[in-house]
Amino acid sequence: MTNLNGKVAIVTGGASGIGLATAEAFVEKGAKVVISDFNEEGGKAVEKELKEKGADVFFIKVDVADEKSVENLVAETVKTYGKLDVMVNNAGVGILSTTHELTYEDYHRVISINQDGVFFGAKYAIREMLKTGGGSIVNTASILGHVGEAGAFAYNASKGAVNILTKSLAVEYASKNIRVNAVCPGYVESGMVNKEALGEFYDGLVARHPIGRLGKASEIAHGIVFLVENDFVTGASLMIDGGYTAV
């Protein structure tokens, strides 16, 4: 088992939702955490809150769709802490649109953040992990990387890619002691996914989860911690979906 105490971790999309819950979970385990997000105001607020609780964290504004931005994120992390042990490629976006009306600009935005961002994060994390004898990468995929959803063509495509590129990386770098896994959340309660925001559609969404409710960000974070701590897990796509894909 990998002990997270003293480990250095990056969490992209760390200012809210699953990313924030993951950063908090890592801090509780004694890790030093670099929180990155495009939302600078939210990221700085999280940094302040966690530091006030005694956590060793700092925030960097990053556009994961921009390779130089991600390269700088990793470089600043190593400059500050001397190494990188854990990379959580969590930042992502979704766009709902019928496919025949989906613009290339919107499609490309989803792919560039959800898929290219994982490539950039893994690429530069692996370069550092090779120097220190290994590490762990967790990519946030989705149930929609396994099953189709009408109106989510770009998101389906990007998350399906995240699942298979995770397996490719796991095979390529297993001998270098670098483990690569994916977490696949079901629908999670958030600022945009809740009864007030979705109205009549909320109950239907809940009904698609046999467990009878939507997930919590902390439950997904728990899964990410498991994937980092368990040294015998690599190439996995961990479903945390309340039974959504079991039906």
Q: In this structure, are strands 57-61 and 86-89 parallel, antiparallel, or unpaired?
A: unpaired
> Which of the residues 81, 107, 124, 155 is marked catalytic?
155
- Is-contact 21 45, C-beta < 8 A? no
Q: Is pLDDT at 58 greater than 90 in this prediction?
A: yes
- CB 78: neighbour CB atoms within 10 A? 18
> What average pLDDT does the segment 114-122 reach?
98
Mean pLDDT check: name the lowest of 43-52, 129-138, 190-199: 190-199
| CA neighbor of 24 nearest in space, from 94, 120, 88, 119 | 88
- In this prediction, residue 206 carries a pLDDT of 94
Domains of the chain: 8-239 (3.40.50.720)
Q: Cα–Cα distance between 80 and 86 in angstroms, integer?
A: 15
Q: What is the largest CA-CA distance in the chain?
A: 52
Whether the per-residue pLDDT at 197 is higher than 80: the answer is: no
Q: Which tens digit of pLDDT belongs to each residue from 16-55?
A: 999 999 999 999 999 999 999 999 999 999 999 999 999 9
Are 145 and 156 in contact by the 8 Å Cβ rule? The answer is: yes
Question: Strand order in 32-37's β-sheet?
Answer: 57-61, 32-37, 8-12, 86-89, 135-140, 178-185, 237-240
- Asked if 220 contacts 187 with a C-beta cutoff of 8 angstroms, the reply is no
36, with CB counted inside 10 A (0-12, 13-18, 19+), is buried
Question: What is this structure's pTM?
Answer: 0.96
pLDDT score of 191: 74
The answer to whether 173 is a known catalytic residue is: no
Q: Give the separation between CA 112 and CA 43, rounded to whole angstroms.
A: 21
Q: Structure tokens of 242? A: 């309340």
H helix or E strand, kind and range, residue 237: strand 237-240
pLDDT in tens, 2-15: 999 999 999 999 99
- Residue 227: per-residue pLDDT: 98
Q: What does the pLDDT look like over 67-112, one tens digit per residue?
A: 999 999 999 999 999 999 999 999 999 998 999 999 999 999 999 9
